[in-house]
Structure 1
Amino acid sequence: MRKMLCILLLLLALAAPALAQTQVDEVRTQIGENYVAYPQLTGMADEAVQKKINDDIVLSSGVANHLVTLATLGDSPWGLKVDYQVKLLGEDVFSAVINAQGKMPDGHEGQAYSALTYDLATGERLTLDALFEDVDAAVAWMEAAAEESLGQELSGYMEYSDITPLPREAFTLDADGITFWYPSDQLRLMSGYSGACQFFYSELAPFLLTEEDAVPAQIGAVQDPLSQQEARKAIEAAVTEGKLPHVPVTLGDRMTDVVDRYRLLRTPDEFPGGRYYVLEDPAFREILVISDAIQSGYGASVVEGVQMRRGDLCGLLIGQAVREDWHAILGEPDETMTFTDSMAYDYGLPVGESDIYHFGEHELRLHADTDGVLRAVQLGK
C-alpha cells in the first residue's frame, strides 16, 4: 500500500506542470489620479517563456517610457492614464493592446495604442504568416475593404487619415477576428483617438491557414460549418436573446452607456422612426447601432436594433449567402418588405427585399439586393 501511495504521489508531482493555468495579473503604478497599468502573465508551466513575454510587454509597449513620464509628470494639465485590454485564447495565444492617453513620452499631449500578440508556446511575437496562406494577398484584400468602409466615414478635414498601408505588425486577436491598431500620426480620428480596423475571421476565411496545428485552428478561427439544424438553433437563440454574434451590444442597452464606451464616429444618421449610430470602436466597422428617434430625450434612449453589413450570421456570410440559403435554414419568412429606390435611400440599404422572421419578442431582417444576395442582417425589437 505504501509503495502504491508513493507511486501516486510521484505521478501527481509529474502532472503538476500540466495543470498550470495561464492567468493575467495587473501591475499598476498610480500617483493621484494618474496611473500606468499593464498586464503580466502568471501561472505558465514554462517560466522562461512567461518571463520573456512579460519583459517584452514592458519594453515593446512603451510602458517603461510611460512610467518615466508618470514619475516626472508634476502638475501637467494633461495627466496620464495608461490601461489595457487583453485576450487569452486558450493556452495558445495572448493578445494585449495598451492604451495611453495624456502626456506622451515626447512631451506632447496625445493618445496611442501599442498592440502585442504572442505565441504562448515560444514567447515570440506572432506575425501574419502564422495566420495566412498568402500574407500579401490577405493584406491587399483587407486594405481594399478598409478603404471602402472606413474611407466613406472619415472626415476630409482630418490631418492624419491614411487608411493604408495596414499596420501589419500592430495587431491583436480575439474570438471574433483580428484588429489592426494604427499609429496616431497615420490615422487619427476626430475624437483624438488613433484609428483601428477589425476583420471577422469569417470575412478572412479564404486566406486563413487551415492545418489543424496552425494558429487559426488552435484559436477557433477555422471551424467546421454548422448544419442547417444547428444554424437555425443558433440563430433562434441569438435573436431571442437580443444579441447578434460578434457584436458587443444587446437590445435594451442604454445608448448613453454604448456611446460612452464605444464613442461616436460622427453625428447619427436619421431614418424614418429612428437613428443609426456609427461608432469608433473597431468592432463596429460596418455595424450600425439603432435607437429610436429620441423624441423622449437622449438619456432615455436604448438600443432598439443592430444592423450588420459585414461578417456572418451563424454561417450566412454577408455578400455571399443568397436567399435560398437562409430559406433552407429558417423556412419561409413571416413577411417580406420591398425596398424601392426612395425607401432604400431613406434606410441606407440597396434596392431589394428584406425577409422578416420573429423569434421570441424580437425580429430578424435579412436584406437581399436585387440579385438575392445577403447585404445586411438586422436585429430589432
Structure 2
Amino acid sequence: MNFKLSAFITCLFLVAAVSGSRAQDGGVIIPKNINLPQDTVSKQIVIALNGFLSQKEKPNKDNSFVLKDELLETSALLDEMKGIEQNVTLKVADFYRPYLTNVVKQGENRYAVQFSYIGVAGDTPLMRASFKLLAKQVNGRFYFYSPLRQNTSSWKVKSHGAVSFHYRDTLSFADAKEFIRMVALYNKKLNTNKPIILYYCTDFLEVQQLLGIEYMADNAGLVSNQLGADENNTDLIINGWSTVKNRFDPHDLFHDRLRTVMSSAIINRPVDEGCAYLYGGSWGKSWPEVSAMFNVYVKDNPGADWLQLYLDGKNYYNDGGKIFKISYMINALIVQKLEKEKGFAAVIELLSCGKKEAGDANYFKALEKLTGINKANFNTEVSKLIKGS
C-alpha cells in the first residue's frame, strides 16, 4: 500500500477509535482498540512517555526521560519533535495531539513505542508526524532513546582521525576523502576538531526511518537531506544526500560545524547561509554556479534596491522549491571581503550578532562596526561588491 495512503487511513482509524482516554496533564491519547502489554508496564510506559514529551522543548540534555547513553542519537530525533503540535497555517499552537499507536516488547525490560501527532480540521484528520522510540526500564523507570544504533548494528565502521564513517556495505574512498577535506577546511576556520560520527544512508527517507521518524508531513517528497545533533562534544551527521557529488552537502556541513562552536541562539541565519554559500555552494550547486545565477538576476534587474530586497527576504532564483535568497548572496559577498581584509575572527563576530529580527537592527549594528556598511550606504556598497565579484 502507498505509504501516504496508509498513513491517512491510519489517521481515520485512530481518530474514529479515540475514546477520550487521555492523561489528565494533556498527554498522549490512547485509542480504545490498542493492544498494550500488561497493565502495570503499560501504565509505567505511558507515564514516562508523557514525561518525555512534556520536556521535549527543553534543551535535549535536560530531558530527564532520555536514556543518557543514547543522548546524541536521541537529540537528533528530539530536534525534529520540537514544535510538532503547531499548525502554522491555521495559527493553532496545540493543533496536533499525540496518539499512542503501538507498544511492543523487544527483550528484557525493552520495548518499542510508536505514536503519531494528528489533528482534525473540520471532518478531515491530518497527520503531522509519526515516531518510533525505544524504551528501556532501568531501576523501575522507563527511559527513551532513538532506534538509530539498533537499526545500524550490522553496519561497518571506518575511522580517519576524528571522523567515524558508518556505512552498510561499501565506503566510497572519493566521498570520504572529499568529506575529510571539507571538514579540515571548516575546522581550521572555526578552530575546532570535535569528533564526527557520520552515517551514510541511501537517501533522506532512510535517514528518517533509521532515526525513528516513520512519517513527517514536512519532509514528504524530499529525496536528499540530512539530520544531526551536537552533544557530549561530538557531532552526529546522518547523511541522506544522494543527489549531489561525493554523497554529502558541503553547505550543510558548514552549518553543522558552526553549531559545534556557537549556540544557535546567537547565530544570524542570513550570515550563516552566506558563509555556507561561499564555502559550500547550495542545493548541489558550487559557489561559482551560485554566483553565476545571481549575476543573471543582477543583469535582469538594473537599479535593484538591494536594501529593500534584503529586508523583504526576496529570492533571486527558485528551482522547484530550491530557493536562493538575495540576503544570503549579499552576505556571501560581504563575508568574502571581510575575511580577506580582517580574517575569519571578524566573520565570527558578524555570525554571532544574534538571530534575524524585524528590521535587522542587530545585524546592521554589527555590519557597520565591522565594515562601515549601514542602511544609508547599503545599496552603494553592495553594488560595489557585486561589480567586484
TM-score (structure 1 length as normaliser): 0.32
Considering fraction of residues, name the structure with more strand: 1
TM-score (structure 2 length as normaliser): 0.31
